[in-house]
Amino acid sequence: MTLMTWLTAKKTMKHTVIFLLVGMVCVLIAAPILRTYATSLSIYGRMGQTTTNNSATNIKEAFYQPFSLMDGQKATIRFSANFPNHSVTLKIVPQGEFEARFAANSSGGSVTGSRFVYCQPRYGSNPPTGCTGDVTSRNIANDDAYIIEFAGWTSTTNLIYVPGNYVVLVYGTNSTNASASTIVRFNIDIAIEMPGRLIARYVDIAGYALLVGFSTVFLFIVLVRSTNEGRS
Amino acid sequence: MASDPSSGRGFLDTLPQVDKAKAMRLLIFGLILTIIAVTILLASRTVSAGATNWQNLAQQENSLNFWSGLYGSTEYAQRNNEILLTVYWMRHQATIFSVVGRIGMNVGLLMMILGFIFLAMNNTIDEKTRHVFLIVGAALVLIVMFGVFFAGFNLTINYS
């Protein structure tokens, strides 16, 4: 089949239009959706999550949520509290250590935890201003909100990727009518990073390549057809 | 083959004849190829020239997202580095597409020159029109020669 017969074939025009549409879908629909919704995966999120006063002394009473990190993957945790007489503490513990402490039903304070970075962004500042690294726990007394970034370990405010299984541990106290069963409240959202933006970039490139390539083919088809019509 | 003035035949008449339709097709395809190549070249240069503006826009958007607490400093740094990678590509693609565009433009112009020369050689067309074809073809040869042999030669087109 020569180039001319390929260009004049009815199927070629049909395929060209289909590829142009696929290119448009990639650039206008698929890539923005991936960029918006596939960047992070929320594995646990709750406003007003509860635990009890007992959680500070008995780890079995505390809030814990396990998660896994692969190489080059990080977790973003939103941790906040807005309740009077509360003191809540968050730690991120490697699963091995957590299981040992859990079996012994140790106190939350005796758990060491891995290093993470916490941020309280300040409007107009240059990042990482507003962020603190090399910490193994974050405590909120009554009211505060933090964005915590965790990848296994840190060096100042830079994350060091250590893949593995971890557990988010939250324990605390509520001194209002304090008893062992008094409820302690806090807000938490745990999200794992997903490769959405990377995939979206490749989808974008594929979409643009299809649009540029097949619009050129489309132009040649129209040109060849108009030349043939003029001749006949 | 040298032209013979005594025979009454011009230099052009002594050259091989090419079908008028073929010459016209060569001319049109050359024109289309040149237009596509120059469009690619100009579009890629516009993208490259606009890279810094896009970088400022994307980085400001990234800062606003960080300040409003959408993500932390590592995510900010990651996105900032991705923005830089895109900006470097926006600048570097001009090198690739300028080469592609320039080759396409020169091939297209060569096709147009051949088209004009073949039309000028066609003795079924009247003499004056053939001379016009020859002059236009020669002008295109000059443009291509300047473009190929002198790096400083360029045509400035205001497209903004």
pLDDT digits (tens, 9 = 90+) for B34-51: 998 998 899 999 999 999
**Mean pLDDT throughout A167-175?**
95
Give dist(CA A178, CA A31) in Å, integer.
52
B133-157 tens-digit pLDDT: 999 999 999 888 877 776 666 667 6
Give the ipTM of the model, two decimals please: 0.82
pLDDT computed for residue B152 by the predictor: 61
CB contact under 8 A, A125 and B67: yes
**Mean pLDDT throughout A107-126?**
90
Give dist(CA B104, CA B41) in Å, integer.
10
Name the residue of chain A whose CA is nearest to B70's CA. Answer: A147
SS3 content of chain B, % helix, strand, coil (to 5): 80, 0, 20
CB contact under 8 A, B66 and A76: no
Give dist(CA A231, CA B19) in Å, integer.
14
Name the residue of chain B whose CA is nearest to A79's CA. Answer: B69
Greatest CA separation found in chain B?
91
Residue A22 structure tokens: 């696929």
Which residues on A lie below 8 Å from B32 (Cβ)? 219-220, 223
CA A12 → CA A1, B1, B118, distances in Å? 12, 46, 32
Q: Which amino acid type is present at position B37?
A: A
**Mean pLDDT throughout A137-142?**
95
Q: What residues form DSSP beta bridges with A46? A: A188
B88-121 tens-digit pLDDT: 999 999 999 999 998 999 999 999 999 999 998 8
Residue B156 structure tokens: 């400035």
CB contact under 8 A, B72 and A117: yes
CB contact under 8 A, B72 and A122: no
Query: Is residue B140 a contact partner of residue B112, using CB atoms and an 8 Å limit?
Result: yes
* φ and ψ at residue A110, rounded to 5 degrees: -85, -10
Which residues on B lie below 8 Å from A76 (Cβ)? 71-72, 75
pLDDT computed for residue B2 by the predictor: 47
Interface of B with A (CB under 8 A): 21, 25, 28-29, 32, 36, 63, 66-69, 71-77, 82
Rg (chain A; Cα; Å) = 28
pLDDT computed for residue B5 by the predictor: 53
* φ and ψ at residue A162, rounded to 5 degrees: -125, 95
The share of chain A scoring above pLDDT 70, in percent, equals 98
Q: What residues form DSSP beta bridges with A174? A: A86
Whether the pLDDT of residue A195 is over 70: the answer is: yes
Whether the pLDDT of residue A216 is over 80: the answer is: yes
Residue A72 structure tokens: 């080059």
CB contact under 8 A, A123 and B75: no
Fill in the DSSP letter of residue A7: H
- Selecting from B32, B66, B72 the residue whose C-beta is nearest the C-beta of A76 gives B72
The model's pTM is 0.79
Which residues on A lie below 8 Å from B76 (Cβ)? 127-128
**Among A155, A65, A32, CA closest to B74:** A155
Query: Is residue A110 a contact partner of residue A171, using CB atoms and an 8 Å limit?
Result: no
CB contact under 8 A, B69 and A121: yes
- Model confidence at A8, pLDDT cuts 50, 70, 90, reads confident
Interface of A with B (CB under 8 A): 74, 76, 117-119, 121-125, 127-128, 130-131, 145, 147-149, 151, 157-159, 197, 216, 219-220, 223, 227, 231
Which residues on A lie below 8 Å from B66 (Cβ)? 121, 127
From the CA of B136, how many Å to the nearest CA of chain A?
23
CB contact under 8 A, B28 and A76: no
pLDDT computed for residue B1 by the predictor: 44
Strands A164-174 and A152-155: unpaired
Which residue, chain included where needed, has tokens 């180039």? Answer: A3
CB contact under 8 A, A149 and B74: yes
Whether the pLDDT of residue B160 is over 60: the answer is: no
Which residues on A lie below 8 Å from B60 (Cβ)? none
Give dist(CA A16, CA A221) in Å, integer.
9
Tally of CA atoms within 13 A in the half-sphere of B75 that contains its CB: 29
Give dist(CA B141, CA A176) in Å, integer.
92
Query: Is residue A132 a contact partner of residue A158, using CB atoms and an 8 Å limit?
Result: no
CB contact under 8 A, B76 and A128: yes
Name the residue of chain B whose CA is nearest to A145's CA. Answer: B69
- Model confidence at A124, pLDDT cuts 50, 70, 90, reads confident
CB contact under 8 A, A227 and B28: yes
| Span of A111-115, B34-38, B62-66, B142-146 with lowest mean pLDDT | B142-146
| Span of A52-56, A160-164, B143-147 with lowest mean pLDDT | B143-147
Which residue, chain included where needed, has tokens 């209002």? Answer: A176
CA B18 → CA A230, B27, B128, distances in Å? 20, 13, 18
CB contact under 8 A, A119 and B73: yes
